């Protein structure tokens, strides 16, 4: 426990919260710029188990912001390179790797054994799949995204009645939004949003109830703001006619 000594005096964490972290299993979807930052803080903070999901290999253009990877990792699977780096950081965390694009079936197999899901992927289709699976399984999850000089985070609680889902908030946005290489991403912004997602994950797992809301960060003006989120009764994924609820 001395590794986590600085957590013990904290209101909201303490020895009990730390034990909850060490008993928790988190699924992390995507280990790019956001996922690398999230994973480091989860593992360093003593999360019990972490499942890393990514189908990609390390490219040179990743190295500016995907800080778990080294020059020598070019061409390696991200799951392999990340798990080596994370295990060196903290051998107490049990790491699992899934190195393919997550399907609905994969999510329905993985999620029942997890306490929390973090979506740090870079595409809308994956987030909608995570949304559907988490609704069906009533799993809390955190959505984190960043582009250019902006980022956003939302803690979603399908296990809490009447809370909005991701589809309620984003509606029918196109399945392919612009991606980071095309639109650009400033490296520290990915780190700020990733570490913020780790904060929400760790405090949630330690026992804090997070207020619902969409947290938006604008690095240019250095501003955070939080928008309220509203459940839509006609939502295709969580509304009264959504078919996953009867699966």
Q: Which residue's beta carbon is nearest to the bound Zn ion?
A: 235
Count, residues near Zn ion per rule CB under 5 A: 6
Based on the shown chain and the rule CB under 5 A, indicate whether residue 102 belongs to the binding site for Zn ion.
no
Q: Which is nearer to Zn ion, 65 or 167 (CB)?
A: 167
Q: Which of residues 29-68 bind Zn ion (CB under 5 A)?
A: none
Which member of 165, 189, 198, 212 binds Zn ion (CB under 5 A)? 165
Q: Which is nearer to Zn ion, 85 or 238 (CB)?
A: 238
Question: Residue 126: phi, psi to the nearest 5?
Answer: -65, -40
Q: Which is nearer to Zn ion, 9 or 174 (CB)?
A: 174
CB of 160 to Zn ion, least distance (A): 13
**Per DSSP, what are the bridge partners of residue 226?**
215
Which member of 117, 147, 168, 189 binds Zn ion (CB under 5 A)? 168
Beta-carbon contacts of 51 under 8 Å, excluding residues fewer than 6 positions away, are 25, 26, 27, 28, 95, 96, 97, 98, 110, 114
Q: Which is nearer to Zn ion, 101 or 244 (CB)?
A: 244
Based on the shown chain and the rule CB under 5 A, indicate whether residue 167 belongs to the binding site for Zn ion.
yes
Q: Which of 135, 116, 87, 113 is nearest to 29 (CA)?
A: 116
Q: Which is nearer to Zn ion, 29 or 164 (CB)?
A: 164
> Footprint of Zn ion on this chain (CB under 5 A)?
165, 167-168, 235, 237-238
């Amino acid at each position: 426990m001395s590794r986590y000594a600085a957590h013990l005096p904290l209101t909201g964490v303490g020895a009990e919260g730390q034990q909850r972290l060490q008993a928790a299993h988190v699924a992390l979807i995507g280990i790019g710029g956001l996922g690398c930052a999230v994973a480091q803080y989860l593992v360093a903070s003593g999360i019990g188990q972490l499942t890393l999901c990514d189908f990609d290999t390390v490219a040179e253009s990743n190295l500016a912001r995907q800080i778990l990877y080294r020059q020598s990792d070019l061409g390696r699977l991200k799951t392999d390179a990340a798990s080596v780096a994370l295990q060196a950081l903290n051998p107490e965390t049990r790491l699992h790797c899934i190195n393919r694009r997550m399907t609905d079936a994969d999510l329905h197999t993985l999620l029942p054994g997890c306490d929390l899901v973090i979506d740090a992927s870079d595409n809308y289709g994956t987030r909608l799949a995570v949304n559907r699976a988490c609704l069906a399984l009533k799993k809390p999850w955190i959505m984190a995204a960043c582009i250019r000089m902006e980022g956003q985070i939302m803690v979603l609680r399908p296990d809490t009645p009447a809370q909005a889902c991701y589809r309620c908030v984003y509606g029918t946005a196109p399945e392919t939004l612009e991606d980071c290489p095309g639109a650009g991403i400033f490296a520290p912004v990915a780190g700020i949003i990733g570490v913020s997602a780790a904060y929400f994950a760790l405090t949630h797992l330690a026992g804090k109830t997070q207020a619902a809301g969409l947290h938006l960060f604008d690095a240019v003006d250095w501003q955070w703001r939080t928008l309220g989120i509203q459940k839509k009764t006609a939502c295709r994924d969580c509304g009264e006619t959504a078919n996953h609820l009867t699966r």
